[in-house]
Amino acid sequence: MFNVSATLNVSRLLYNPTLCLPHLCIKSFDQIPIPLVINNKDNTASTIKGIVLDKDNCFAKDHDDKVWPAYQETWTNLLGHYGKDYLLIVSNSAGTNDDINHVQAEKLERDTGVTVLRHSTKKPGCFGEIQTYFAALGVQPHEIAVVGDRLFTDMLMANMMGSYGVWVSEGVELSTKLFPSFERMVYDKLANREDPYVPPNPKGQHINLGNDNIVDTLSTIYNQRLFRNLFRVYFAFLLVQYILIYACVPLEDIENRPAICVITSVYTLVMFVINAALLPLCSSTIPTLVSLRCSFVSFVMELIGLVLNITSVIQCLNAGEMFQIEKERGHTTTIKTRVDTYIIVFHVLALTFSALATSTVFLLFVICSRALEFITDRVDRRVIKKNKKYEGSNSSLSAFVDSQKDYYLV
């Protein structure tokens, strides 16, 4: 069946392609290390407490519900080390709504001895149910590894839930289907370039800023919860501004309406399109120069919109009576309806939300800029990729831009 969840979530890769990258690559399931330990970028090792297992072309052949014979020893060792409760099979076939009465899931559980997750939303959108399952066992997201053969579902889900991804690049048999082949090409382009992309840090992992500077959590750099909530609030204000365009600019002719009102509404529409396109770039986990620039552009556009809205309200208040002109069908006479109160009320509302949106995006810009200044004072982050030490900038944000733009523009 068509996977709506994957179709929607894969759009995240357009602005953050690292979300599909694994933290560990193995050719086949029998190469998985037991116990599963993944080396981090700060040269520490993370021990995994819970494992999510894909079925098709991972530990089983496509459309088969039993462990592939060549992997039986690995499966037994994995089950013996972790126990059945800390292994969870998450398939886009067994356990989904496509599995009528979960007959396939029950058979798979009998054959493997491991729980199969029941989920209505297919991967990668079902990570909430996975987190709930492991939370009951006291396992945090950064202590979970997702093992699967698909980058755009399994690895994307692992990074979305703040866990580790283990990519089975070939599986039982190397798939020649369109999407798996395309995924392998994407991985090759991202991971084997001169300055390769790297997967995101799982939540809870120490963050190595380079030059022997390590912070425990993102909260050391900035208030992530505040930033995320402000981001959502700004999006809501932006959406309301878009909706108010249709209330502020009726399709009928309005007599004595100031031209600035129409200009403001047209500008707001253009601003909405641009800022909506920039929003994904502003939402990176760790603030970057790109997110700073995007938030600054959004702030400038909102500020211009605020000035236009103030001007529109002033002009409307001074314009006097405004009338909506309508022609009766089959007659040459016109009907005038006074609408100045309507126009003024909606322009005042537009002004209010414009002011709120401008203030919110300004706070986002301030949080992002201060976070970058903190990083600048601590480190030259190119050390992470180059393993070389550079002289960090300890002055201002402008100095940071000069010294760091090569890294952040990647």
- Same domain as 139, residue 28: yes
- Same domain as 368, residue 300: yes
**214 within a domain of the structure (yes/no):** no
Asked whether the predicted pLDDT for residue 270 surpasses 50, the reply is yes
Asked whether the predicted pLDDT for residue 169 surpasses 70, the reply is yes
pLDDT on residue 332:
65
Question: Which residues constitute the domain of residue 233?
Answer: 219-408
**81 within a domain of the structure (yes/no):** yes
Q: Compute the half-sphere exposure of residue 82: CA atoms within 13 Å on the CB side of its CA.
A: 31
Among 217-226, 258-267, 295-304, whose mean pLDDT is lowest?
Answer: 217-226
* Range 206-229 average pLDDT: 59
Among 101-110, 159-168, 239-248, 401-410, whose mean pLDDT is lowest?
Answer: 401-410
- Same domain as 180, residue 264: no
144-148/50-53 β-pairing: parallel
Asked whether the predicted pLDDT for residue 386 surpasses 50, the reply is no
Confidence of residue 251 (pLDDT cuts 50, 70, 90): low
Confidence of residue 253 (pLDDT cuts 50, 70, 90): confident
Contact 109, 115 (CB under 8 A): yes
Among 6-10, 125-129, 181-185, whose mean pLDDT is lowest?
Answer: 6-10
Among 230-244, 321-335, 349-363, whose mean pLDDT is lowest?
Answer: 321-335
Residue 401: is it exposed, middle or buried by C-beta count within 10 angstroms (0-12/13-18/19+)?
A: middle
Give the CA distances from residue 355 to residues 154, 234, 303, 321, in Å, rounded to whole numbers and listed in that order.
Answer: 42, 11, 8, 26
- Same domain as 230, residue 193: no
Domain end call among 176, 204, 232: 204
* Range 48-68 average pLDDT: 91
- Same domain as 97, residue 67: yes
pLDDT on residue 340:
82
Let me know how long the chain is: 410
- Same domain as 382, residue 281: yes
pLDDT on residue 222:
61
Residue 363: is it exposed, middle or buried by C-beta count within 10 angstroms (0-12/13-18/19+)?
A: middle
**247 within a domain of the structure (yes/no):** yes
For residues 53 and 75, give the distance between their C-alpha atoms in angstroms, rounded to a whole number: 11
pLDDT on residue 83:
92
Confidence of residue 258 (pLDDT cuts 50, 70, 90): confident
For residues 268 and 239, give the distance between their C-alpha atoms in angstroms, rounded to a whole number: 11
Q: Compute the half-sphere exposure of residue 410: CA atoms within 13 Å on the CB side of its CA.
A: 16
**83 within a domain of the structure (yes/no):** yes
**What does the block give as tokens for 364?**
């986002």
| CATH label of the domain that carries residue 40 | 3.40.50.1000
- Same domain as 173, residue 120: yes
Tell me the per-residue pLDDT of 82-100, one tens digit each, with 9 for 90 and over: 999 999 999 988 888 888 8
- Same domain as 357, residue 290: yes
pLDDT on residue 354:
94
217 or 172, greater pLDDT: 172
**211 within a domain of the structure (yes/no):** no
**213 within a domain of the structure (yes/no):** no
Asked whether the predicted pLDDT for residue 215 surpasses 60, the reply is no
Asked whether the predicted pLDDT for residue 387 surpasses 50, the reply is no
**What does the block give as tokens for 45?**
């090792």
* Range 117-142 average pLDDT: 89
Domain end call among 172, 204, 236: 204
Listed residue (46, 114, 57) closest to 80, CA to CA: 114
Confidence of residue 392 (pLDDT cuts 50, 70, 90): very low
Residue 177: is it exposed, middle or buried by C-beta count within 10 angstroms (0-12/13-18/19+)?
A: exposed
Contact 8, 51 (CB under 8 A): no
Asked whether the predicted pLDDT for residue 395 surpasses 50, the reply is no
**What does the block give as tokens for 288?**
């970057």
pLDDT on residue 164:
93
- Same domain as 280, residue 163: no
* Range 199-207 average pLDDT: 67
- Same domain as 229, residue 146: no
**161 within a domain of the structure (yes/no):** yes
For residues 312 and 350, give the distance between their C-alpha atoms in angstroms, rounded to a whole number: 10
Asked whether the predicted pLDDT for residue 174 surpasses 80, the reply is yes
- Same domain as 363, residue 328: yes
Which residue is it, tokens 């939540």?
203
* Range 269-291 average pLDDT: 77
Amino acid at 288: T
* Range 160-166 average pLDDT: 90
On average, the pLDDT of the chain sits at 81
* Range 347-354 average pLDDT: 92
- Same domain as 240, residue 172: no
Asked whether the predicted pLDDT for residue 310 surpasses 90, the reply is yes
pLDDT on residue 249:
67
Confidence of residue 6 (pLDDT cuts 50, 70, 90): low
For residues 69 and 81, give the distance between their C-alpha atoms in angstroms, rounded to a whole number: 19
Confidence of residue 382 (pLDDT cuts 50, 70, 90): very low
Domain count, the chain: 2
Domain end call among 204, 234, 266: 204
pLDDT on residue 185:
92
Angle, to 10 degrees, between the axis of helix 259-282 and the axis of helix 224-248? 150
**209 within a domain of the structure (yes/no):** no
Among 178-187, 194-203, 208-217, whose mean pLDDT is lowest?
Answer: 208-217
Asked whether the predicted pLDDT for residue 410 surpasses 50, the reply is no
Asked whether the predicted pLDDT for residue 353 surpasses 80, the reply is yes
pLDDT on residue 362:
92
Contact 85, 79 (CB under 8 A): no
